[in-house]
Amino acid sequence: MSWEPVIGLEIHAQLQTKSKIFSGASTAFGSEPNTQACIIDLGMPGVLPVLNREAVRMAIAFGLAIGARVAPRSIFARKNYFYPDLPKGYQISQYEIPIVGKGSVRILLDDGTVKEIGVTRAHLEEDAGKSLHEDFHGMSGIDLNRAGTPLLEIVSEPDMRSAKEAIAYMKTIHALVRYLRICDGNMQEGSFRCDANVSVRRRGDPIFGTRCEIKNVNSFRFVERAINFEIERQIDVIESGGRVDQETRLYDPDGNETRTMRSKEEANDYRYFPDPDLLPVVVDDALVAAVRESLPELPEARRERFMAQYALSAYDAGVLTAGRELADYYESTVAAANGEGKLAANWVMGDLAAFLNREGREITDSPVTPAMLGALVNRIADQTISGTIAKKVFELMWNGEGDPDAVIARHGLKQVTDTGAIEKAIAEVMAANPQQLAQYRSGKDKLFGFFVGQVMRKMQGKASPEQLNALLRDKLAP
Amino acid sequence: MSKFHTMTVARIAAGLRRREFSSVEVTRSFLDRIASLDGRLNSFITVTPELALAAAKAADARIGGGEAVTALTGVPYAHKDIFCTKGVRTSCGSRMLENFIAPYDATVTRHFRDAGMVMLGKTNMDEFAMGSSNETSYFGPVHNPWDLQRVPGGSSGGSAAAVAARISPFATGTDTGGSIRQPAALCGITGIKPTYGAVSRFGMIAFASSLDQGGPMAVTAEDAALVLNVMAGNDPRDSTSVEREKEDYARLLDAPLRGLRVGMPKEYFGSDGLDPRVGAAVHAAAAELVSLGASLVEVSLPNSELSIPAYYVVAPAECSSNLSRFDGVRYGYRCKEPRDLMDLFCRSRGEGFGAEVKRRIMIGTYALSAGYYDAYYLQALKVRRLIRNDFDAAFNQCDVILGPTSPTTAFRIGEKTDDPVTMYLSDIYTIAVNLAGLPGMSIPCGFADGLPVGLQIIGRHFDEARMLNVAHQYQQATDWHTRLPAPFA
C-alpha cells in the first residue's frame, strides 16, 4: 500500500520592529527578565494597546512579496485563554479578517523542479512571555520581555507532500522574510518558529486524512525529522487497524519522537471576538504603493537573473540568493572582478563560505571585502597568480594583511612566467630523481604528477601551471 | 470662610484666582467635612489628606507665582476608584485590587494633576463598575445623602453621594450603561457621560471597552462643563480616543434656547416601569424648556426596548475578556497556598471577585462561546446598529432628546439585590445612549417624597456643548440643583 503525506505549515516570524506591537517597550533579545516589559506588556489594569505602524508596513511587504491581496481593512481580535505568561488573559491576534490574504510562493526542489505552494493567509499578532521552570525550587518564573513582540503568522495551504518539500517551503519563507528585512530569521532565539500539520492518505484518495499538529519545532533539521517521524507513526497506526486522532503533539528532539500534548476534546474554546480597544487596520492604496516601492528584488527573481546574467547553474544561483546579504556580497564581488561571475561564485561559495563557517561569522562581518575578493579574482584571471597561490593570498587577506596586490607583493607570490627559471627548476628536479625519470620514460605516465609537484615545490608554488605543464612534458619526453 | 461646600466649582476657582482664599483652606475644609460626615455615607474607599494638602500647597504656590495657572488650579475633587492614580491604591471596588497601588496615572488623572487640581481621595463604586446601586462594592454600600436607608445608584455611587453631600466640590465617574447618569439622578446632581471617544480611557480600569466613558459629576452644568474641559481631549495612548480640536464645553452655556427642538421619545413615557411621579417631573421640565423658547417634537426610538438585552450581551462579553488579566499571577489578590496552576487561577478569581462580577463573567463567557457567538454577540451588535440608526433618525427632527434618567427614585438598600434582572431594568433609559456612543447627561428636575428625580438630556455625537447649554439654561430658571440634603447643609 502506498501512502501520501499531506503537510501544511504555520510559521511564526518575529517582526524586527524596534518596539513592541502594542507598546513602546524594546524588542531586543536577551535582556534580564522583565526589564523590557512596560505597564502595557504587563497587562496592568487600565492600560490600552496602540498599534505599531511599522509592524503593519512589514506585513504589507510580506503580502506583496507573495502576491497576496492586502486587506484594506483588517481586524484585531482577542484570543482568550488563561496562561501565566499571557498577561492579559488574551492574545491580540487577527481572526476573521487577516491583513494578508491568499498568496503563494514557488519552491525549488532537489531535482530542479519548481512547485507552487499556497499561502492561505498571514496575520499580525503579539507574542506571549516565557515561563521558566528551572531555578525556582518547584515554582515557575515568568519573563515578560517577549510579551507583545510582533509576530507574523504565515499559514500555508496543505500543499506539501513530503518532509523535504516542507523544508524547502520553510527555507523559501525564511529567505523571503530575511530579504524583506522584516525578520532576522534567528531560529535559536525563536524569531522564526514552525508548527506542522501532518496527515497521511492512501495515494489517489481525494480526501485528506485526520491531521495532527506538531508544535514549535525550532530548526530545519528537527522539522524534517519530526514530520518524517509523524508520517511513519500515522501509517503504522492505520496499517495496524487503528485510527489517527486529531490532536496536538510535541516533538522531542532527544528521543526523536512526537508525543500527545492535548487531544481535540481538550482544545480551548478561544472565544474570539473583535478587540474593542483597537480600531480596524486601514491600509490605503498610497501605503501599499509606498511599501511596494520600497521592496527589494526578491529571491526568486534574483536567482533567475543570476543564472542569466552570470551564467550560473540553478544550484549556484540558489545558494547565492538564499540570503540578501550574501547575494549583495556576491554581486559586489563580481562588479569588482570585471564580471567574472563563475569564478567569483566559486570563491564566494568555496573558500569564503568555509572561512566564515569555521569562525562562525556572518557574511556582513567578513574581513575580506567584496572589493578585495574581486581583486583577487582579477589576479587569477590575469594569471598574476595561480589558483593555488590565490588560496594562500586569501588566507593572508583574511588575517588582515590588506588587499591582494599588497599581499602578493609583500610575500613575493607573483606567478613566475620566465621560461628560463622554470626550465632551470625542471633540470634540477630531473637530475635529483633519475630513478623516477627512468620509470616515467619506460611508460609510467602517472609519475608526471610527481614531477609537477616537485617542480612546483622548488618554485614555491609560483610557477604558472600551464607553462610548467607544457615545459615539463617537453623535457621529460624520452 | 467655611462655606466652601455651598460654592460651585466655578465660584471656588474664581475665589482662588482672586486669592480670596487659598487652596489649602478649601482643601482642609473639604477634608474636614469628609472626616466628620463620610462615616454616614461610606462614599470614599481611600482618603488622601497628606497628598491633598501637598497638592493644595503646590497649587497655592503656582497661583501665587502666577505661573501657568489653569481655570481649575487648586480646586479639590474626588476621583472614582476606577482611575489609576500613581502611588495610591486603586481598588475598583474589589477585593481583587484591595491592595493594588497603581504604578502609573490614568490620562484623566494626569490631566487633573497637570492642571494643578487637588485629589481628596478615591470614591466607592460598584465592583468593577458592575451594578446600579453601589451594593456590589467590596468596601460596603454607599448611602444616599437624601435618605441614608437608600442606595445612591451606581456604579459611580460614591462620587454621586460625595457631591450631593458637598463633601467634594465635584467628582469623576465612569458610565458604561448609566453609571454616571443614574447615580446623578438618584442623588440630585449633574452628571455627564460624554460622547464615546471624547475622554481617554487609558488608565481607567476597563469594564466594557466599547461602552466605557469617563465624565464629570458636579452640582451644576457649568461646573460639569469646566471639569469636562480638563478631562476631555485626544490621547495617543487610547486608540479609540477621537482626534478632534480641543473645545470649550462651556462656550454655549449662555445661548438662549429660542428655536431649540426638543425630542420626546414616545417609547420613554407610559411604560409600566416608569414611576408616574418621575414622568410628571420630566414633563414639567419639558414645559419649562418650552417657556424658555424651545419647542417639543415627538420622536420615536422603536428599538429602545432591545437595548437591555443587547447591552447584557455586549457588556458581559467584553468584561469576561477584560477581567481575565486578574489571575493572581502578577498583581492583585492571590489565594493562599495554591496547589497548582489551575487552583491558583480558580481560587484567586473565585475568592477575589464578588457575585455580580462573576455572574457577568459567566454570561459573557457563554455569549462568546463557540456555537453561541452568532446567536448572541453578533446579534447584539446588529441590535446596537439599529439603536444607533433610531437615534440618527430622531436627531433629524430635533437637537436634543429629553426623558427620564431612571424609571424610579432611589430604592432601599437591599431591595433589589436578590433580583438582578429588576436591577438591570433601572438602566433602561441610559443604556441605549452608551450603545449608540452618544453624549448624555442627567440633571435634577424635581423631587418625589423628598427624593431627587433626574432629567436626562441626550445630544448628538460631540454635541456636548449644546446639551450643556440646555442644562445650564434650565438650571438658570430652576433651583432643584441648588438644594442640599438637610443633614449635610
Our CA-based measurement puts residue A144 at a distance from the nearest CA of chain B, in whole angstroms, of 11
For residues B202 and B109, what is the distance between their CA atoms, to the nearest angstrom?
Answer: 10
Please determine, for residue A117, whether its predicted confidence score (pLDDT) is greater than 80.
yes
Q: Catalytic residue among B23, B91, B132, B155, which?
A: B155
Residues of B in contact with A277 (CB under 8 A): 206, 209, 239-240
For residues A119 and A5, what is the distance between their CA atoms, to the nearest angstrom?
Answer: 18
Which of A390, A411, A432 is the endpoint of a domain?
A411
> Using an 8 Å Cβ cutoff, are B464 and B194 in contact?
yes
The sheet with strand B440-448 has its strands ordered as: B44-47, B118-123, B76-80, B171-175, B213-218, B190-193, B440-448, B451-458, B400-404, B261-265, B295-299
Query: Which residues 6+ apart lie within 8 Å of A156 measured at CB?
Result: A8, A9, A10, A11, A117, A118, A119, A120, A169
CB-CB under 8 Å, B321 with A80: yes
Please determine, for residue A264, whether its predicted confidence score (pLDDT) is greater than 80.
no
Q: Which chain B residue has the Cα nearest residue A24?
A: B237
Q: Which residue has the cell 438658570?
A: B476
Question: Is there a single domain that holds both residue A333 and residue A471?
Answer: no
Question: What letter represents residue A403's amino acid?
Answer: D
Please determine, for residue B20, whether its predicted confidence score (pLDDT) is greater than 70.
yes
The length of chain B, given as a count of residues: 489
The pLDDT assigned to B258 comes to 96
Residues of A in contact with B205 (CB under 8 A): 45-46
Structure-block grid coordinates of residue A101 = 490574504
Structure-block grid coordinates of residue A51 = 498599534
The pLDDT assigned to B2 comes to 63
Query: Which residues 6+ apart lie within 8 Å of B28 measured at CB?
Result: B53, B56
Per-residue pLDDT band for B1 (boundaries 50, 70, 90) equals very low
Q: Where are the beta strands (DSSP E) in B147-225?
A: 171-175, 190-193, 213-218
> Using an 8 Å Cβ cutoff, are B233 and B137 in contact?
no
Please determine, for residue A279, whether its predicted confidence score (pLDDT) is greater than 50.
yes
> Using an 8 Å Cβ cutoff, are A87 and B330 in contact?
yes
Summarize the confidence of residues A197-221 as an average pLDDT.
Answer: 92
For residues B216 and B199, what is the distance between their CA atoms, to the nearest angstrom?
Answer: 10
Summarize the confidence of residues A129-158 as an average pLDDT.
Answer: 92
Summarize the confidence of residues B155-171 as an average pLDDT.
Answer: 98
Our CA-based measurement puts residue A131 at a distance from the nearest CA of chain B, in whole angstroms, of 12
For residues B42 and A18, what is the distance between their CA atoms, to the nearest angstrom?
Answer: 48
The pLDDT assigned to B419 comes to 84
Q: Which of A38, A42, A44 to mutate to test the interface with B (most CBs of B within 10 A)?
A: A44
Structure-block grid coordinates of residue B42 = 461610606
Structure-block grid coordinates of residue A3 = 501512502
Note the pLDDT tens digit of each residue in B232-282: 999 999 999 999 999 999 999 999 999 999 999 999 997 778 999 999 999
Question: Is there a single domain that holds both residue A126 and residue A196?
Answer: yes
Q: Which residue has the cell 446579534?
A: B379
Query: What one-character DSSP code corresponds to residue B90?
Result: -
Ramachandran angles phi, psi of B140, nearest 5°: 90, 160
For residues B364 and B332, what is the distance between their CA atoms, to the nearest angstrom?
Answer: 22
Low-confidence winner among A22-31, A114-123, B92-101 (lowest mean pLDDT): A22-31
> Using an 8 Å Cβ cutoff, are A23 and A43 in contact?
no
Average pLDDT along chain B: 96
The pLDDT assigned to A144 comes to 96
Question: Is there a single domain that holds both residue A405 and residue A423?
Answer: no
For residues B322 and B175, what is the distance between their CA atoms, to the nearest angstrom?
Answer: 16
Domains and CATH numbers, chain B: 4-247+482-488 (3.90.1300.10), 305-382 (no CATH)
Question: Is there a single domain that holds both residue A358 and residue A389?
Answer: yes
Helix B23-41 / helix B157-164 crossing angle, nearest 10 deg = 120
Please determine, for residue B477, whether its predicted confidence score (pLDDT) is greater than 90.
yes
DSSP alpha helix (H) spans, B353-406? 355-368, 373, 379-394
Note the pLDDT tens digit of each residue in B373-419: 999 999 999 999 999 999 999 999 999 999 999 999 999 999 988 88
A275-295 burial, b if ≥16 CB within 10 A, otherwise e? bbbbeebebeeebbeebeeee
Query: Which residues 6+ apart lie within 8 Å of A155 measured at CB?
Result: A8, A9, A10, A119, A120, A121, A122
Please determine, for residue B343, whether its predicted confidence score (pLDDT) is greater than 90.
yes
The pLDDT assigned to B400 comes to 98
**Measured CA distances, B76 to B9, B60, B66, B81, B125 (Å):** 9, 12, 19, 16, 19
Question: Is there a single domain that holds both residue A249 and residue A305?
Answer: no
Closest to B131 (Cα-Cα) out of B120, B140, B118: B140
CB-CB under 8 Å, A44 with B331: yes
> Using an 8 Å Cβ cutoff, are B216 and B172 in contact?
yes
For residues B378 and B369, what is the distance between their CA atoms, to the nearest angstrom?
Answer: 12
Question: Is there a single domain that holds both residue A394 and residue A446?
Answer: no
> How far, rounded to the nearest angstrom, does the alpha carbon of residue B19 sit from its chain's CA centroid?
31
Residues of B in contact with A82 (CB under 8 A): 324, 327, 345
> What DSSP element (H or E) covers B77?
strand B76-80
> Using an 8 Å Cβ cutoff, are A281 and A73 in contact?
yes
Please determine, for residue A468, whether its predicted confidence score (pLDDT) is greater than 90.
no
> Using an 8 Å Cβ cutoff, are B52 and B118 in contact?
yes
Question: Is there a single domain that holds both residue A187 and residue A279?
Answer: yes
**Measured CA distances, B87 to A195, B60, B90, B100, B102 (Å):** 44, 23, 9, 9, 6
Q: Which string of DSSP letters, residue by residue, matches A271-303? A: --EE-TTS--EE--HHHHHHHHHHPPPPHHHHH
CB-CB under 8 Å, B205 with A84: no
> Using an 8 Å Cβ cutoff, are B172 and B218 in contact?
no
Question: Is there a single domain that holds both residue A316 and residue A241?
Answer: no
For residues B184 and B480, what is the distance between their CA atoms, to the nearest angstrom?
Answer: 13
> Using an 8 Å Cβ cutoff, are A91 and A206 in contact?
no
Percent of chain A with pLDDT over 90: 71
Question: What letter represents residue A179's amino acid?
Answer: Y
Q: Does B80 participate in catalysis according to the annotation?
A: yes
Q: Does B266 participate in catalysis according to the annotation?
A: no
Which of A356, A379, A411 is the endpoint of a domain?
A411
Which of A411, A433, A465 is the endpoint of a domain?
A411
Q: Catalytic residue among B22, B43, B80, B168, which?
A: B80
For residues B175 and B208, what is the distance between their CA atoms, to the nearest angstrom?
Answer: 10
Helix (H, G, I), strand (E, B) or coil at A335: helix
> What DSSP element (H or E) covers B401?
strand B400-404
> What DSSP element (H or E) covers B80?
strand B76-80
Give CA angle at B366 (B363, B372), nearest 5°.
Answer: 130
Percent of chain B with pLDDT over 90: 94
Using DSSP bridges, classify how beta strands B76-80 and B118-123 pair: parallel, antiparallel or unpaired. Answer: parallel
Our CA-based measurement puts residue A21 at a distance from the nearest CA of chain B, in whole angstroms, of 13
Using DSSP bridges, classify how beta strands B171-175 and B213-218 pair: parallel, antiparallel or unpaired. Answer: antiparallel
Low-confidence winner among A145-154, A312-321, B117-126 (lowest mean pLDDT): A312-321
Question: Is there a single domain that holds both residue A338 and residue A446?
Answer: no
Q: Which chain B residue has the Cα nearest residue A80?
A: B321
Q: Which chain A residue has the Cα nearest residue B104?
A: A39
Closest to B428 (Cα-Cα) out of B406, B457, B410, B396: B406
For residues A54 and A93, what is the distance between their CA atoms, to the nearest angstrom?
Answer: 16
Low-confidence winner among A207-221, A419-433, B224-238 (lowest mean pLDDT): A419-433
The pLDDT assigned to A388 comes to 85
> Using an 8 Å Cβ cutoff, are B200 and B316 in contact?
no
CB-CB under 8 Å, A89 with B321: yes
The pLDDT assigned to A444 comes to 87
Question: Is there a single domain that holds both residue A257 and residue A283?
Answer: yes
For residues A168 and A220, what is the distance between their CA atoms, to the nearest angstrom?
Answer: 9
Note the pLDDT tens digit of each residue in B53-68: 999 999 999 999 877 7
Question: Is there a single domain that holds both residue A224 and residue A260?
Answer: yes
CB-CB under 8 Å, A278 with B324: no
CB-CB under 8 Å, A43 with B325: yes
Question: Is there a single domain that holds both residue A310 and residue A405?
Answer: yes
For residues B206 and A277, what is the distance between their CA atoms, to the nearest angstrom?
Answer: 10
DSSP alpha helix (H) spans, A115-253? 163-179, 220-239
Helix (H, G, I), strand (E, B) or coil at B149: coil
Q: Which residue has the cell 487610547?
A: B238
CB-CB under 8 Å, B331 with A277: no
Count of structural domains, chain A? 3
Our CA-based measurement puts residue A84 at a distance from the nearest CA of chain B, in whole angstroms, of 6
Whether the ipTM is more than 0.85: the answer is: yes
Q: What is the CATH number of the domain that holds A451?
A: 1.10.10.410
Q: Which string of DSSP letters, residue by residue, matches A177-215? A: HHHTTS----TTTTSEEEEEEEEEEETT-SS----EEEE
Question: Could you tell me the residue range of the domain that residue A320 belongs to?
Answer: 297-411
Per-residue pLDDT band for A1 (boundaries 50, 70, 90) equals low
The pLDDT assigned to A384 comes to 87
Helix (H, G, I), strand (E, B) or coil at B71: coil
Burial class (CB in 10 A: 0-12, 13-18, 19+), B381: middle
Using DSSP bridges, classify how beta strands A150-156 and A257-263 pair: parallel, antiparallel or unpaired. Answer: unpaired
